[in-house]
Amino acid sequence: MYTKKLKLLGLFVFAFLTAAFGQENEKIKIQELLNHALENSFDVKEAKLNIKKSHELKKEVLADGLPQITGKAKYETYFDQPVMILPGSLMAGMMPPTGGDGTGGATGPTAGAAMDPSAAAMTGAAEDIIAPYGKAHNMDLGLQASQLLFSMQYINGVRTANKAVELYELQSINTETELIYAIYSNYYNLLSIYKNLDIVDEHIRSLTQLRQITESLVNADLALRTDLSRIDVNLSNLETAKQKATAGIIIQTNNLKMLAGYSKEQFIEIDASNVDSLYNLNNIRLTHNPNFNDLVNNRIEVKLLNKNVELNDLQIKTEQGAYAPVIAAYGSYMKMAQEDNFNFASSDATFRNVSLAGITMEIPIFTGRKNNAKVKQAKLNKQISINQREKTVEGLNVEYLNSINEYEISLSNCQAQKKNIELAEEVLNQFQLKYKEGLSGLTDVLLAETELMTSRGNYIENMTYFRQAEIKLLKAKGTLQLLINQ
């Protein structure tokens, strides 16, 4: 009764979990995983954000060539108002002449003569006048505008900004390429674990059948009971290997989940139903390998370096543009008021208009050879980029040749391991028949079983190397992104 209740409870829990998480447990195919990664991977998101950022930087550069309008409001008040000093001699010279009797009507040669300013200054007849300068409260309101008319540095800066956008777009493609390579590499590692798990299960079934045969022989006094123990030890080792494989599947799935941009709370299971097809030698065709010179321009690394050289050329022109004049138009319109009291909001305040317009041209004459040094640095940066491109091309050529060699060798190894499996299966079948007939010992059967398992494991390992070599070859050809639409 208790057992039945446990079974009913187990069925209820299973049904509940299936209903609640059935959609989450749906197996994800490699193409779905790849598409999700290209939309949600952290690296891809960062690359796309960098593209958006480059567009905003381009707008920033373009803005320098658009009209610049600035509003201005300024208020000042003086606690100690500045003064203006007028010399007394100057004021004395400006006074009208007076007559000897004070009526201003004398006509003699000396009677009505004006006092000489210098004489008045020496005698101290006129003192300096100290007068306040301006008013205590000052308000300025206005608009200032400017428009760049010509600048070689601006023209080349805009071109550089356009190239920078293209550079970030190429970097985004490079990020996607690296992501595709990483996902497929981890995917094949996962498939190899699934395949090894199938091999372990198959050998567990084989040894379980062997144990049943041995148990019958022991009951018939045709075999020793220790033979059962030996088989049990092998079965225990296989169960341990199965647990390790199961743990490896979880770890590798988590690695793929992180690469594809799934959150840690999401549960995913990778569809491994095509593992037999991928690990079948009959489905492999050695593709034609073209000359590297025909492929070098397809490599995203070369495209990035070519774009760097283009940016270096523009940087040289930008620095050379510093020798050219910069022409700009400007204008200003202001209202200014000066009052003894703060009454700018009243009708008594008097605002006076001040407006102007003009054109300015700056011509660099001598900058201490700073511009010359900047031009030389830009030219050296171009030479560095060219050298990096040549070095990269040579490295990619070696990578391409090595990937072809690795592809062909791993395929050859797979073919050899396939033959070893066929031979090991044949040996095991013979020993099993002899063991049933009592013509062979258990040791021979167990050794043959181990050799077959080792051969199958070696085949899976080499097939995994082959599939990864295939990915490397696609990357070396610059055609890895074709896997997106497969």
Question: For residue 141, is it within any domain?
Answer: no
Question: For residue 117, is it within any domain?
Answer: no
- CA trace torsion 284, 288, 289, 293 (10° rounding): -150
Question: For residue 421, is it within any domain?
Answer: yes
Please tell me the predicted confidence (pLDDT) of residue 390: 95
Total count of domains within the chain: 1
Note whether 186 and 252 are within 8 A (CB).
yes
Question: For residue 343, is it within any domain?
Answer: no
Question: For residue 211, is it within any domain?
Answer: yes
The domain in which residue 212 lies consists of: 28-70+151-324+370-485
Please tell me the predicted confidence (pLDDT) of residue 286: 65
Residue 294 is given by DSSP the state: G
Name the helix (H) or strand (E) containing 139: strand 137-150
Task: Of 311, 300, 263, give the one whose Cα is nearest residue 47.
Answer: 300
Please tell me the predicted confidence (pLDDT) of residue 3: 41
Please tell me the predicted confidence (pLDDT) of residue 284: 79
Query: How many CB atoms lie under 10 A from the CB of residue 16?
Result: 10
Question: For residue 295, is it within any domain?
Answer: yes
Task: Of 275, 228, 290, give the one whose Cα is nearest residue 463.
Answer: 275
Question: For residue 336, is it within any domain?
Answer: no
- pLDDT one digit per residue (tens) for the chain, 486 residues: 434 443 444 444 344 334 444 444 578 999 999 999 999 999 999 999 999 999 999 999 999 999 999 999 999 998 888 888 888 776 666 666 555 454 444 444 444 444 454 444 444 557 888 888 888 889 999 999 999 999 999 999 999 999 999 999 999 999 999 999 999 999 999 999 999 999 999 999 999 998 998 888 888 887 888 889 999 999 999 999 999 999 999 999 999 999 999 988 889 999 998 888 888 888 877 666 778 888 888 899 999 999 999 999 999 999 999 899 999 999 999 988 888 788 777 777 888 889 999 999 999 888 888 889 999 999 999 999 999 999 999 999 999 999 999 999 999 999 999 999 999 999 999 998 888 877 788 889 999 999 999 999 999 999 999 999 999 999 998 888 888 776
pTM: 0.77
At residue 361's C-alpha, the angle toward residues 140 and 67, to 5°, is: 55
Question: For residue 88, is it within any domain?
Answer: no
Strands (E), 5-136: 27-28, 68-77, 83-86, 129-132
CA 231 to chain centre: 55
Q: Beta strands 83-86 and 137-150: pairing type?
A: unpaired
Please tell me the predicted confidence (pLDDT) of residue 81: 84
The three-state secondary structure class of 91 is: helix
Q: Which two tokens stand for residue 471?
A: 């990915």
CATH of the domain at 392: 1.20.1600.10
CA 339 to chain centre: 59
Please tell me the predicted confidence (pLDDT) of residue 294: 80
Residues 6+ apart with CB under 8 A from 473: 289, 403, 404, 406, 407
Please tell me the predicted confidence (pLDDT) of residue 17: 39
CA dist 334 and 421 (Å) reads 94
Please tell me the predicted confidence (pLDDT) of residue 486: 65
